[in-house]
Amino acid sequence: MRPTKTTRTRDLTRKTASRVLGLATSTLDVAVRNLDNARRIANFLRGRMELEVRPTDIFISSYPRSGTTLTQWILYLLTHEEQPDPAHLTKVSPWFERSLAIGEVTASDLERFPSPRVFKSHLPRQWLPDGARYIYVERDGLDVLVSYFHFYRAYLGFEGTLDDFYERFMNGRVQYGSWFEHVAEWHERASDPDVLIVHYEDLLSDRKAAIERIVGFLGWERDERWVDRAVIESSFDAMKRRESVFDHATALLLERGVRPQSFLRAGESGRGAGSLSDTQVREIRERSSTGRRLAIRGLASFLQ
């Protein structure tokens, strides 16, 4: 039976309504996301302005997958006596911008933390408050890319190939934006007396020298016992045995209904080159960035 004019009209109306509903839903999703971003930005900026910075405060910043957790743990070991069951790292060294943005803590809550307060961050220097000490952890971009790819697949539902992720990474279309710009912005502040750039590779190849350099920068007095314990307890094997203490992603994963996987992967450097093509390696090595001032609207990508 051929469809009647009435039937065709009804089908067309349904299709039109479906398209309109789809557009409306998409628009609503964008609006909700923008409102959530605005709320997070407002929470963060309020907390940042209300925080009374102490000269003993330390901000450990890095691009993701660059050694922030390792450096946090080293500073924990240098400021706490040995404990058989240490608290989760986020309880003593909170993720500064995200904790404020999602309302997990306020500036008043952070005021109750004893000195020296150690904060984790992925922020560029320009968005961190002044008056503290800043340690920037830098890792070889090849290793960052490959580690971030595995993180995306394990935690963020990414189903593409390494080549797909490479294109995202090179174009800065990942959480926290461009690795090239992030590193360049911190390098612009490298000569500031309150900034220390630490290379992840140094933390692996000569951890004791790297730790002594950190201690000297902070002006701390630590005898050989403290330094040696930090060296031993911050090895990859030692940290792997206590992984539940470090996996800062656990709370976020539970919020999203994602099953946690291994947070500490290999604890090595130099593996990235072997996973990428010669052309990709060359493009990363040859590319540079002068950095740029990020607008407030770009802040949302750091507060997820």
Domain count, the chain: 1
Q: Which two tokens stand for residue 77?
A: 């070991």
- Is the CB of residue 115 less than 8 Å from the CB of residue 178? no
* CATH number where 200 lies: 3.40.50.300
Encode pLDDT of 57-92 as tens digits. 999 999 999 999 899 999 999 999 887 677 778 888
Task: Give the span between the Cα atoms of 244 and 189, in whole angstroms.
Answer: 34
DSSP 8-state class, residue 95: B
Q: Domain limits at 78? A: 5-302
pLDDT attached to residue 243: 74
Task: Give the span between the Cα atoms of 268 and 243, in whole angstroms.
Answer: 16
Parallel, antiparallel, or unpaired for β 133-138 and 195-199?
A: parallel
DSSP 8-state class, residue 248: T
- The pair phi, psi for residue 276, each rounded to 5°, is -115, 160
- Is the CB of residue 73 less than 8 Å from the CB of residue 144? no
Encode pLDDT of 191-245 as tens digits. 999 999 999 999 999 999 999 999 999 999 999 999 999 999 998 888 878 776 6
For residue 294, name the pLDDT band (cuts at 50, 70, 90).
low
Has 122 been annotated as catalytic? yes
For residue 254, give Cα distances in angstroms to 6, 33, 250: 51, 20, 6
Task: Give the span between the Cα atoms of 128 and 226, in whole angstroms.
Answer: 29
Encode pLDDT of 113-166 as tens digits. 999 999 999 999 999 999 999 999 999 999 999 999 999 998 888 999 999 999
Q: Which of 80, 122, 182, 248 is catalytic?
A: 122
Encode pLDDT of 270-291 as tens digits. 666 778 898 999 999 888 665 5
